[in-house]
A and B are shown apart, each in its own frame.
Chain A
Amino acid sequence: AQSVAQPEDQVNVAEGNPLTVKCTYSVSGNPYLFWYVQYPNRGLQFLLKYITGDNLVKGSYGFEAEFNKSQTSFHLKKPSALVSDSALYFCAVYGGATNKLIFGTGTLLAVQP
């Protein structure tokens, strides 16, 4: 079965420090992986995607993610966190040969000033 796991419900980081939000996946075939961010009472905003090619993907707002096939991971990273990065982050994968986007449970990122 296709699945996405975000093992941390919440990540706390001080402003200016690097941040990592973890994501692992289980899907048949080559995965199409995505990261989205959600601010309170808003929809999801697309941050970045991995389809093929370089394992390090750069996205919006200075975020990047590294695809690791052997570890089936797609962790989201940013070198220097901002307070405005505080939000709910979702990892997602297209499951197999379907249209459905499978979401992780979300990780709340809290950046302290």
Chain B
Amino acid sequence: GAVVSQHPSWVICKSGTSVKIECRSLDFQATTMFWYRQFPKQSLMLMATSNEGSKATYEQGVEKDKFLINHASLTLSTLTVTSAHPEDSSFYICSARAPGAGTRRSNQPQHFGDGTRLSIL
């Protein structure tokens, strides 16, 4: 089955530090990857859509200079939280989707990484 690896799983760092989170699709090529943020006991909030070889599409209210996304290859997307502050503490989850049959809305499910728990002191 499709496997998505997310690393690291847990980060604790000081305020002002930049943190990079990696998301890899291990056994399939993902033209599109997604980054979500999840607050305790809440649903997933889509932050941005990452397309291989092009700029990420950010959701309204998400600061693109704060959350830098790079999708340099078909198997790797990275999210960098720049100058992180305590309010950035959250659970960040990536997902990847194999390409569909040429339609914009793919019938392929998204496959999720195990998430990164980010704690900023």
**A contact set with B: CB distance below 8 Å:** 32, 34, 36, 41-46, 49, 51, 90, 94, 96-101, 103-106
Residues in B with CB closer than 8 Å to A105 are 42-43
Question: Does B44 lie at the interface of the complex (its beta carbon under 8 Å from any beta carbon of A)?
Answer: yes
Inter-subunit contact A100/B46 (CB<8 Å): yes
Question: Does B110 lie at the interface of the complex (its beta carbon under 8 Å from any beta carbon of A)?
Answer: yes
Chain B interface residue count: which class?
20 to 34
Question: Does B109 lie at the interface of the complex (its beta carbon under 8 Å from any beta carbon of A)?
Answer: yes
Inter-subunit contact B107/A51 (CB<8 Å): yes
Inter-subunit contact B106/A43 (CB<8 Å): no
Inter-subunit contact A99/B104 (CB<8 Å): yes
Partner of A46, one of B46, B111, B113, B117: B111
Given A43-B114, A106-B42, 9 other A-B residues pairs in contact with their CB atoms under 8 A:
A41-B115, A43-B4, A46-B110, A51-B107, A94-B105, A94-B107, A98-B105, A99-B105, A103-B44
Chain A proximity of B101: nearest CB distance (Å): 11
Chain A proximity of B64: nearest CB distance (Å): 17
Inter-subunit contact B105/A96 (CB<8 Å): yes
Question: Does B6 lie at the interface of the complex (its beta carbon under 8 Å from any beta carbon of A)?
Answer: yes
Residues in B with CB closer than 8 Å to A97 are 104-105
Inter-subunit contact A36/B112 (CB<8 Å): yes
Query: Which 3 residue pairs spanning A and B have beta carbons closest together?
Result: A43-B112, A44-B112, A51-B107
Inter-subunit contact A90/B104 (CB<8 Å): no
Q: Please name the residue on chain B nearest to A46 by beta carbon.
A: B109
Q: What separation, in Å, do the CA atoms of A90 and B112 have in the docked complex?
A: 13
Residues in B with CB closer than 8 Å to A36 are 112
Residues in A with CB closer than 8 Å to B117 are 41
Inter-subunit contact B112/A106 (CB<8 Å): no
A45 and B112 contact, Cβ closer than 8 Å, known pairs A90-B44, A100-B46, A105-B42: yes
Inter-subunit contact A103/B105 (CB<8 Å): no
Residues in B with CB closer than 8 Å to A42 are 114-115
